[in-house]
Structure 1
Amino acid sequence: MECQGRGRWFSSAWLLILGVFALRDTQAVYHRHVGQFIAVGTTHSLLELNAISFMDDVEMGSYNRVQRQIIVKIPWVSKALGVSYITQSRHLLVDHEQHFRWIIQLLAQNDSNPNKNHTAQLLADCEIDNDIKVKSHIHIIWDGEEYYRIDEEVGHWETLKPEVKKYQHILESPFWTNLRKQYMDRYCVDMLRKIIGYSNLRDNVPPEMTILRHVHSEGSIIFSCTARGFYPQSILLRWEKNGKLGVWGKETSTGILPNVDSTFYLQVTLELPPEDSGTGYTCVVEHTELKTPAVYPVPEKTTMEKPGVLVLGIVLAVILLLSCSGAFIAWKMKKSGSSGQLEGCLPAPSSPTFLSQ
């Protein structure tokens, strides 16, 4: 069978999961739950079904078609949800196997090759702020391209590919509408509230800040303000000059990005025009763990950006010296008259040529 769908992990889908959200009030209690479902199959059979649940970008649990069991990644989450709730969730996921099999058969029914593998992906996310539901969305992705999406607040499916608009009425049927609402209310929002009401997924951590200044080759001055290793993800970085807000130059941002340890990263830069002296600037940081906004002045002199180059050169020189010393000692230990060679340190003596008989 072909595995075209299996090999692509859909940049568009990951952007939907890891996309940057608008900055919020740093004192708000904001949390987000994401359910990701990935099914691989043909018009004849469902080959794989995997589900992963994330809360605030921390993986909580997973499910796959082979084991048909929910694997909880954080032990206390099982206590927060309860055995009955997890059992009901497992039954729902088992039912989803039939739903995904039907979706694949529907969208692949016109394939000339019935054995071709396809990948259907469903992303569902919900957000709460101070225990109030503020957003929820569902995205349906087929072989790496988004086909449908819905904003639960609007309640209307949007078709992104004209060729599949003919199936939209199925998604809006009473059966699928009730199933969608049940999932989003009970298994997205309610699950999020249960877990948050029990404990935090991890300890809050303030950002580690780095403020740099360097001069562009064209003469403009560039500042960078970097926040590393903070949790939760809500944060605000802004530039001020002499204690005042304003538009001083060209601002860019990486957006809030997740780290492997479930903390977050954000960098903002400010490029000033050549006529600006670059004095009096500060980066102001707001985060729940800082309690009050923290002010970091920009250095008055250009920051050395590559101190590691000199250190690396010294380290390499030391390694070379030690290797040569070791070779010299080994050579001295040989019996007198042997023609040892200090490879890499001393020139190799000439040696006779041996001819095979």
Structure 2
Amino acid sequence: MECQRRWRPFSSSWLLILEVFALRETQAAHHRHVGQFTAVSTVHSLLELNAISFVDDIEIGSYNKVHRQIMIKISWISEALGVKYITQRRNLLVDHEQHFWWAMHYFAKNETNPNRNHTGQLLADCEIDNGIKVKSHIHLIWDGEEIYRIDEEVGHWETLKPEGQIYHHVLHSPFWTDLRKRYMNLYCVDLMKKIVGYKNVRDNVPPEVTVSRHVNPEGSIILSCTATGFYPHSILLRWEKNGKLGVWGKETSSGTLPNVDATFYLHLTLELPPEDSGMGYTCVVEHSQLKTPAVYPVPEKPTVETWVLALGIMLAVILLLSCAGAFIVWKKKNKSDMYV
């Protein structure tokens, strides 16, 4: 019995430690949450209000004024957030209908045509890395033109259109400043942490890597390394020569950018001086889905660029079709000559 009593608290503590490490492992990546609010109204009434939420470029939920319900796109997210949280969020969005109409009415108060429709948009995004907020922005758009934006790290609204100056003081008021900070932390950062701390919104995928080399007209050698189709966002590409790090030429990077399928890609190039033969270079790739850093040797011979190959194929097809067309015309002409 004494042994059992001692084991229980130890077991609970051990499970808690495992859960913490599992949560850290899930959060130990870059994540981004984007919220898009679009309202359409006249001076008299709010006609439409739609809200869409994306985590890591995957739509997770939406809301519209007609149904007044939050539509969850991924079933397990309901479990991650809980019924109480979703209900509170839904009630808040219903209340926001009045707030959006008030804001739209305020912006359109000098409108000469009271029946004209206006569109207002609020775009909010935040990013975390290893569970820590690293970026946060808000954009306010009126009838398709961005009027204001703010970088939360800077904390100062930037007015992008002269007509927006008259409302500048409203955005800087203590009430709206406190509301903005509270909402961005509560519904952008904390909501995202709840979701990614429970489960990734998509499966992790290792990168597909291609390495090439070609000689430019000036005689220098260009080495290219492209990693694409990977998730999560964090990745490291580097050049090594004969297994060693160093600086051998001009290095450029595309930066990690999104693909249409919510995965990412990164393109890295190295321009070597003409006196460098380009031999012995490798592209080393590190990603959470690779057990060890992957090494990709650079081809010894120049690689045929994809666009050159595609152009050659296209020209060959055009030539073939032209020859076939000429043969058909020639054959028809011969037949007509036989009946003359």
TM superposition score category, shorter chain reference: 0.7 to 0.9
The match for 2:131 is: 131
The match for 1:300 is: 300
1:254-297, Cα deviation, whole Å (9 max, x unpaired):
33232233211222223334343323322222211123322222
Identity %, equivalent residues:
70
The match for 2:332 is: 347
The match for 1:176 is: 176
How many Å separate the matches in 2 of 1:220 and 1:45? 64
How many Å separate the matches in 1 of 2:109 and 2:56? 37
**Structure 1 residues 108, 276: CA separation in 2 closer, same or farther (over 3 Å shift)?**
farther
How many Å separate the matches in 2 of 1:125 and 1:72? 19
**Structure 1 residues 288, 51: CA separation in 2 closer, same or farther (over 3 Å shift)?**
same
Unaligned runs of 5+ in 2: 1-26
How many Å separate the matches in 1 of 2:251 and 2:106? 47
How many Å separate the matches in 2 of 1:282 and 1:231? 23
How many Å separate the matches in 1 of 2:143 and 2:250? 38
How many Å separate the matches in 2 of 1:238 and 1:48? 49
The match for 1:57 is: 57
**What does 1:31-180 correspond to in 2, within 5 Å?**
31-180=31-180
Unaligned runs of 5+ in 1: 1-26, 325-341
**Structure 1 residues 243, 40: CA separation in 2 closer, same or farther (over 3 Å shift)?**
farther
**Structure 1 residues 297, 45: CA separation in 2 closer, same or farther (over 3 Å shift)?**
same
1:97-154, Cα deviation, whole Å (9 max, x unpaired):
2222232333333445544443322122223333333433322223444332334445
The structure in which a higher percent of residues are helix is 2
How many Å separate the matches in 2 of 1:316 and 1:83? 61
How many Å separate the matches in 2 of 1:119 and 1:142? 6
**Structure 1 residues 213, 106: CA separation in 2 closer, same or farther (over 3 Å shift)?**
same
The match for 1:18 is: none
Instruction: Give the residue type in structure 2 aligned to 1:103.
Output: A
Aligned residue pairs total 309
What is the TM-score when the length of structure 1 is the normalising length? 0.74
Q: Secondary structure at the match of 1:290?
A: coil
The match for 1:252 is: 252
Root mean square deviation, CA, Å: 3.3
Q: Secondary structure at the match of 2:303?
A: coil
The match for 1:201 is: 201
